[in-house]
C-alpha cells in the first residue's frame, strides 16, 4: 500500500521525493507530496522514515492487520523507533539499531 500523505502536515521539503527508490513520490503544484503511481509502490517506507514532519504514514495491509492498524517509524541517530498500533488501538514500540554513520 502506498503511503498516506497528510496534506496539512506536508511542508513540501521534497525529502520523500529524494529517497523514493521507485521514483514514485512527487510534489504537486501546491508543493504537497503525493505518490504518482500507487500500484507501483512496494511499501519500502523510505519516504515515511525520511519525513521530518510526520506527514506520511503507511497503513498496514488488511492481510496483516485491517484498518486502522498502523506502523509508524521515527528515525533517531542510531536507531529507528517503530510504533505499532493494532486494530484495537493497542500500542507497542520497538527500537531497532541502525548502522548509520
- Quickly state the pLDDT bin for 2 (edges 50, 70, 90): confident
Asked if 70 and 62 touch (Cβ cutoff 8 Å), the reply is: no
Domain ranges in the chain? 1-57, 60-101
> Which CATH entry fits the domain spanning 1-57: 3.30.1130.10, 3.40.50.2300, 3.40.1160.10, 3.30.70.20?
3.30.70.20
Query: Exposed, middle or buried: residue 96 (CB in 10 Å: 0-12, 13-18, 19+)?
Result: exposed
Q: In the block, which residue shows the cell 519525513?
A: 51
* Per-residue pLDDT reduced to its tens digit, 28-57: 999 999 999 988 998 888 999 999 999 998
Q: Which of 91, 44, 47, 49 is nearest to 70 (CA)?
A: 91
CB 83 within 8 A of CB 63: no
- How much is the pTM? 0.73
Please give the pLDDT value at position 58: 81
Closest CA to 62 of 37, 87, 91: 87
C-alpha 96/C-alpha 74 separation (Å) is 10
Amino acid at each position: 500500500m502506498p503511503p498516506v500523505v497528510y496534506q496539512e502536515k506536508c511542508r513540501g521539503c521534497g525529502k520523500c521525493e529524494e529517497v523514493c527508490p521507485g521514483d514514485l513520490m512527487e510534489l504537486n503544484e501546491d508543493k504537497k507530496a503525493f505518490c504518482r503511481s500507487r500500484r507501483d509502490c512496494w511499501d519500502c517506507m523510505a519516504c515515511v522514515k525520511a519525513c521530518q514532519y510526520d506527514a506520511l504514514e503507511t497503513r498496514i495491509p488488511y492481510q496483516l492487520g485491517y484498518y486502522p492498524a498502523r506502523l509508524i517509524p521515527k528515525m533517531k541517530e542510531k536507531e529507528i523507533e517503530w510504533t505499532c498500533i493494532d486494530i484495537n488501538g493497542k500500542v507497542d514500540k520497538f527500537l531497532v539499531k541502525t548502522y548509520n554513520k
